[in-house]
Structure 1
Amino acid sequence: MKTDTEDPAAGSTGMVQPARVKLRSVWTVVILCMLFMVINFADKSVMGFAGAAIRQDLGISAEQFGLLQSAFFWLFAAGAISISALTHKFSPVNIIMVLVVVWTATLIPLTLTGSFAVVLLCRIILGFAEGPSIGLAMAVAHSWVPARKRALVSGVVNAGSSLGPLIAAPILTWVIAAHSWHAGFFALIPVALAWLVAWFFLGRMGPETVTKANSAVDRDLPERVPYRTLLIQPTVIGIALLTLLGYCCVALKISWLPLFLTEGLGYSTTQSGLLVTLPYIVSIGANILFGWMSSRLSVRGIRGRYARGFFAVGLMFANGISMILFTVLGAGVMQMAFVALAFALYSGAMSLSFAVLADVVPPAQRSTVYGCVIAFYSLGGVFAPLLMGWVVGAASTAADGYSSGFMWTGTVMAIGCLVSLVLIRPEADVRRLVRVAATTGAPGPGANRPR
C-alpha cells in the first residue's frame, strides 16, 4: 500500500519526510493499535469473567457487584475529554504508553487483595484511563494513511474491541477456574508489558501528520479551528448521534445479551455461552470487510459523504432493523442470525464514523474531538442497560420485557440513523471551516502541507 506522500521539497523543514511509506511500517503500527484495543477490552471484561468468584470470595451482593461494574463508567467520559486534550502538548504515542502503564497498575492490587474498596477504586481508575483509548488509537493509525484508506485502517483497529473479549473469554475463564480470580487479573499483566516493549520500539506517528494531504478534503482543511466551531459542525453532531446509538448496542451486548438468551429465549447456560460469541465473531469480520469496501469506494472516486458517511449510517440502520426482526421471529437459526447482526453491524459503523470525523477535523485537533465524541457516546453505556432493566422489570414475563426493550431500541436506532443521514455532509462542513478560518485569522487551506 503506497501512501503517495512524495514531496521533494519537504526535506527543507528539517523533519523526516519519507517520499513513500513502507507497507510493513504502516501495518506494524496499525496492528499494534489493534492489539492495544484487544488489551483494553480484555482488561474491561475480566471483571465479568471473574464475577461469580469475586462475589463468593468477597461475600458481596448482586447489587454491590453491579456497583463494581458500573464504577468503570463513572469517570469514563471525564477521562476521554481530559486525557485527549493533552495531545496539544504530548504525542498520542506517548500518552498511549502511559495509559497502558496505568491500566497495568490497576491490575496489580487485584492480584493481591480481596477488599471491595480496593476493587472499586481500581475499576474507577481503569475507566478513567480507558476513556480516550479508541480515539488515541485511531489518531495514531490515521496518521499513517491518506483519507481514502482510513476506513480500512479504522476497521482493523476497532476489530480489537471484539477480538479482546473473544480471546480473553476462554483463556481467563480457564485461569480463574483452575487457580483463582486473582490469577485472572495477573494473567493480563505480562501481556500488557510485552505490548509496551513492542510499542516503545515500534510505535510512532505516521507521515500524514506532516506531509502532503492525499484527498481534496485533507487539502482544504485549515490547520486549526476553534473547538466551539468544530464541535457544532453538522457532521460531528451526526456522528456523535450515530456512535451513541452504537454504544447502546455495546452496553446491551455486554450487560443483557447473555441473560436475554437464557431468560428470554430459553437457551441453557452452556448454549448461551457459545451463542454469545457469535456477535463478536461477526463484528471482527464486519469491521475489516466494511472498512475495506469503504476504502475501495473512496479509491474509485466516491465522495467521503457516501463512501464513509452514508455507508456508516446504512450499517447502523441495518443493525436497528435486525434488532427489530429478531424480536418478532421464532426461535431458530434465522432468529440467531439476526441477533448476531444486531450486535455486530454497529461495530463496522463506528469504525467508519471515526474515518468520517477525520475528514472534517484538522489533524492537530483530532484526538481532542475524538475524545469529546467518545465522552458523549459513553452515555449510552450508562443509560441503555438501566432502561432495559426497567422495561424487563415492568413486563409480565421476562420474554415480553426483552422483546419490548429490544424492539424499542431497534426503532430508536432506525429513527436516529435518519437524523444522522441528514446531518453528515463532510465536504460542505470543510468549506464552512475554511470560511471560519479566514474570518478568525487561523491558518487556512494548505496549512497542513509541507512548507
Structure 2
Amino acid sequence: MFGNSGRPATAGAVHTVRNPLGGVDTAAIRRRGWTVTALLLAFMVVNYADKAAVGLAGVDIKTDLGLTNEQFGLVQSSFYWLFAVGAIVFTGVSDKIGARWLVGGLGALWCLSMIPLVGSTGFTVLIASRVVLGLAEGPASAVAAHVVHTWFTPRRRALPSSLIFTGVAIGPLLAAPILTWVITTFDWHHAFLVLVVAGALVVAAWLVAGKSGPVSSATTRERDTATGAVLPDRIGWSQLLRRPTLWGIALLLFCGYWSVSLKVTWLPLYLREGIGYSPDEAGWLVTLPYASGAVLSVLCGWLSGRMTARGISCTLTRGVVPSVAFCATGVAMIGFTVVPRGVGQMILITLAFSLTTAVWGVAMAGLSDVVPGRQRGTVLGAVVAAHSLGGVIAPVVLGSFVDSGVTLAAGYGRGFLAAGVVIVVGSAIAGFLIRPDRDSHIVARAAAAAG
C-alpha cells in the first residue's frame, strides 16, 4: 500500500488531510489505526486481568499455601522483579522484531507462564510464574503506546492512547466478577486456566490483523507535534536526558503505579480482611474503581485532544492536569483510611484507584511531544521500567504494615495512609518538572544547531 516515501501508492486516496507528515493522515489509515487500537485494547485488558488474578484469589492462595501477609506481599512484588528488564529489553528491540511478532510473542509467553498454576503448585512455583509473567508483561504498555502512536499523528494521539490504557481498568473490571465466580465455584487454579485461554484468543486475533502503522516508518520524518515544534529523527542522548519533562513523567507514573499495583494486589484483600465485606460483595465492589477509571480515561483523552486542538498549552493538558489528578489520588487514599465503612469510604476508594488510570494515557502522550520518533520506543521502555519500581516496593511495604498492625484493619489503614503521602509528594514534584512546550522546542533548536 505504501511506497518508500510513506505516501499512498495510488493517487486516489480519499479524504487525505494536508499536513506536514505527507500522506500518513488519510481516512483509510485512521480506520485501520482504530482497528489496531481495538486489538491493543484487548491486549491490555488481558494484561491487567493477569495482574489482578493473584489479588482476587489472594485469600484462597494464602490459605491453600499457608502464606503470611508478608509472604503474600513478596508474591505480588515478584511480578515486578524483572518487569523493568522486560520493558527495556523488549521495547529496545521493537523496531527490529516488528510489532506483529513482538506483541504476539509477548502474549504467548504470558500464557505459557501461567500454565503451571492451572494445576497443584507451591510457593516457589508461584513466585517463578509471576516473575516470568512480569518479564513478559513489563513492556506491554510501552509497546502498545508505541504501536498506536505509529497510526496517528501527534495531534490525534491523546484519545487512542487513552483508549488503550482503559485496558488497565477494563481488564480487572471484567476479571473481578468472572474470576471471583470461577474461584468460588471451582478453585483458584481454574481462574488461571480462564486467563490462559483468553490470552491465546487475543494472540491469535493480533497475529491475523495487528501491525505497525506508517507514521513511524524510517522514511517518514515526524514534523508535527502537539506543541508545534519540529522534532528531528533523533537527538543526542545526553541532550535528551537533560529534559526535565522526561524525568517528571517518569516520577509521576512511578507514583501512579504505586496506586495501580496496590489496586491489583491488595485492594480485594483489603475489602475482605480490612473492611469486612463478604467474598461476593468484595468481588463486585472491587470493580467500582475499574469502571470509573475506564469511563474517566476515555473522557480525559477526548478532552485533552479537544483542548490541544484549540491551542491550549500541552504543559497544562499533559502536565498540570495529570499531576493534579495524581495528587487527588493520594488525598483520596489518605481519606478512606480515616472515614468509617460505608458509601463515603467507597467513593474515596473509587477515586483513589481510578484517577491515575483516567489521565495515564494523557501523561504518556506527553513523551511523544518531546522524544524524537526513532528514540521513542526506547524512552517509553525506560519510563515503564522506572515506574515499575513502584510495583516492586508498594506490595511489600503494605504487606509489612499489615503484619505489624495491632489488627488487620489497623495495619491496612497505616499502609494506605503512608502510600497516600508518597503519591501526593511525588506527584507535586513531578508537576513542576513536566513542561512539554518548552522542552520540545529546546530539542528542536538543539537538533537544528547540530546541523
| TM bucket normalised to smaller | 0.7 to 0.9
1:243 matched to 2:253: yes
Q: Tell me the secondary structure at the aligned position of residue 80 of structure 2.
A: coil
Match for 2:169 among 151, 162, 174? 162
Distance (Å, rounded) in 1 between the aligned partners of 2:415 and 2:121:
36
1:278 matched to 2:279: no
Note the C-alpha offset of 1:129.
0.8
Note the C-alpha offset of 1:390.
3.8
Change (3 A) 1:276 1:50: closer
| TM-score, with structure 1 as normaliser | 0.86
Aligned residue number for residue 354 of structure 2: 344
Whether the 8 Å CA contact 2:256–2:326 is kept in 1: the answer is yes
Q: Which amino acid aligns with 1:298?
A: T
Note the C-alpha offset of 1:434.
2.5
Q: Which amino acid aligns with 2:430?
A: S
Q: Which moved more, 1:21-30 or 1:398-407?
A: 398-407
Count of residue correspondences: 434
Q: Which moved more, 1:414-423 or 1:47-56?
A: 47-56
Match for 1:83 among 74, 78, 90? 90
Q: Tell me the secondary structure at the aligned position of residue 341 of structure 2.
A: coil
Change (3 A) 1:411 1:222: same
> 1:404-443 deviations in whole A, cap 9, x for unaligned?
44334333323323222211111211222224334555xx
Aligned residue number for residue 132 of structure 1: 139
Aligned residue number for residue 320 of structure 1: 330
> 1:100-153 deviations in whole A, cap 9, x for unaligned?
121122233433563554443332211111101000001111222222332211
Q: Which moved more, 1:67-76 or 1:383-392?
A: 383-392
Change (3 A) 1:425 1:389: same
1:418 matched to 2:428: yes
Q: Which amino acid aligns with 1:325?
A: G
Note the C-alpha offset of 1:393.
4.5
Question: Quick one: percent identity of the two aligned structures?
Answer: 42
Aligned residue number for residue 104 of structure 1: 111
1:92 matched to 2:92: no
Distance (Å, rounded) in 2 between the aligned partners of 1:52 and 1:407:
22
Aligned residue number for residue 41 of structure 2: 34
Change (3 A) 1:70 1:408: closer
Aligned residue number for residue 208 of structure 2: 201
Aligned residue number for residue 299 of structure 1: 309
Change (3 A) 1:298 1:365: same
Match for 2:390 among 373, 380, 389? 380
Q: Which amino acid aligns with 1:40?
A: N
- Pairwise CA RMSD of aligned residues? 2.9
Whether the 8 Å CA contact 2:79–2:133 is kept in 1: the answer is yes
Aligned residue number for residue 445 of structure 1: none
Q: Tell me the secondary structure at the aligned position of residue 205 of structure 1.
A: coil
Aligned residue number for residue 289 of structure 1: 299
Gaps spanning 5+ residues in structure 1: where? Answer: 12-16, 442-451
Note the C-alpha offset of 1:216.
5.5
Distance (Å, rounded) in 1 between the aligned partners of 2:166 and 2:413:
28
Q: Which amino acid aligns with 1:125?
A: V
Change (3 A) 1:321 1:108: closer
Whether the 8 Å CA contact 1:151–1:308 is kept in 2: the answer is no
Match for 1:147 among 154, 175, 184? 154
| TM-score, with structure 2 as normaliser | 0.86
Distance (Å, rounded) in 1 between the aligned partners of 2:353 and 2:138:
21
Superposed, which structure 2 residues align to 1:185-224 within 5 Å? 185-210=192-217, 211=220, 213-215=223-225, 217=227, 220-224=230-234
Change (3 A) 1:117 1:216: closer
Note the C-alpha offset of 1:3.
9.5
Distance (Å, rounded) in 1 between the aligned partners of 2:56 and 2:244:
40
Change (3 A) 1:412 1:43: closer
Distance (Å, rounded) in 2 between the aligned partners of 1:114 and 1:412:
36
Gaps spanning 5+ residues in structure 2: where? Answer: 1-13
Q: Which moved more, 1:132-141 or 1:254-263?
A: 254-263
Distance (Å, rounded) in 2 between the aligned partners of 1:421 and 1:111:
44
Match for 1:406 among 397, 402, 416? 416
Distance (Å, rounded) in 2 between the aligned partners of 1:9 and 1:330:
55
Whether the 8 Å CA contact 2:161–2:361 is kept in 1: the answer is yes
Distance (Å, rounded) in 1 between the aligned partners of 2:440 and 2:306:
22
Change (3 A) 1:271 1:145: same
Whether the 8 Å CA contact 2:111–2:199 is kept in 1: the answer is yes
> 1:343-398 deviations in whole A, cap 9, x for unaligned?
11011222211111111111221121111111111111122233334444555554
